[in-house]
Amino acid sequence: MGDKINSISDEAKALGEKNKEHFDQVAAEVFKHPWIQRLCNQISDELRQNLGWIGIPEKPDQFKMLDYACGNGVASRALAPYVSIVRGIDISSKMVEQYNMLAEAAGFCTDKMRAIHGDLMNPEASPSPDLDTPEFNDFDLIVMCMALHHVQDYAAMIQKLSEKLRPGGVLLIIDLVASSESGCPEATMSKELSNHTMSKMGFTEMEVKTAFEKAGLKDWSWRWCSERSQVPEEIGGEQQGFFALGCKSVRGGEIKQV
pLDDT per residue over 143-176, tens digit each? Answer: 999 999 889 899 999 999 999 999 999 999 999 9
For residue 126, with 0-12 CB atoms within 10 Å meaning exposed, 13-18 middle and 19 or more buried, which class applies? Answer: buried
Structure confidence at residue 126 (pLDDT)? 82
Portion of the chain with pLDDT greater than 70, in percent: 86
**CA 213 – CA 155 distance, rounded (Å):** 10
Range with lowest mean pLDDT among 19-28, 94-103, 203-212: 19-28
CATH topology of domain 2-248: Rossmann fold (3.40.50)
- Domain ranges in the chain are 2-248
Start-to-end CA distance of the chain, whole Å, equals 45
Tell me: pLDDT of 254 over 80: no
pTM: 0.86
pLDDT per residue over 225-253, tens digit each? Answer: 988 888 877 777 788 899 999 999 886 54
Structure confidence at residue 258 (pLDDT)? 46
Query: Residue 240 region, left (φ>0) first, then alpha (ψ -120 to 50), else beta?
Result: beta
Q: 162 with 217: CB under 8 angstroms?
A: yes
Q: What is the DSSP string of 70-85?
A: -TTTHHHHHHGGGSSE
Most confident of 177-186, 219-228, 246-255: 219-228
* Neighbour count for residue 18 (Cβ, 10 Å): 16
